[in-house]
Amino acid sequence: AMSNDASKIPSESLRQQIQEQAFLQEMPEALREEIAEIILIHCHPVDFEAGHVLFHSGEHSDDQAYLILEGTLEISSKSMTSLEINAPTLVGEMAHVTPLETRLCTVTALTNLSALNFSWHECFEAVQKKGGKKACQRLKLALQKLVWSRLIPQETGRQGTP
């Protein structure tokens, strides 16, 4: 089900696509570039077919996140209305900002997806090395905002953006 078509994308345009992610927009440009660079270094491209479940609600969180570059996915759980979200977006952020060890939502590919997979642990370790605690806190805050915008969607103008 997985191939590595995304690896044909030149890293310059990937860097651009990472920097344009909504959750990074409120950061100072220098930090945004730094985080994009770190994700670029630590990620590997993956593709998923429509119908593939990236995360199951209730399963153990394995520290993995996906930046979705192309496609549409659904975020659903028992306690919230399903959200349909279009790329570019990030999934896998909830497990990182909540103290729970389990996934809060099920994330399903509605179309074929092109994505970048990375580990939060590696990402935050690198951010801390380069930017210190403050940079880590800014990133965590940005992720918390993204989570809240999804859990309380009626307060957002458009899905996926705070």
**Cα 120 from Cα 86, distance rounded (Å):** 22
pLDDT in tens, 54-73: 999 999 888 899 999 999 99
pLDDT at 9 (0 to 100): 60
pLDDT in tens, 77-104: 888 889 999 999 999 998 777 777 889 8
Q: Please say if the pLDDT value at position 139 is more than 50.
A: yes
Q: Beta strands of the chain (E only): which ranges?
A: 44-48, 53-55, 64-70, 72-77, 80-86, 89-91, 106-109, 113-119
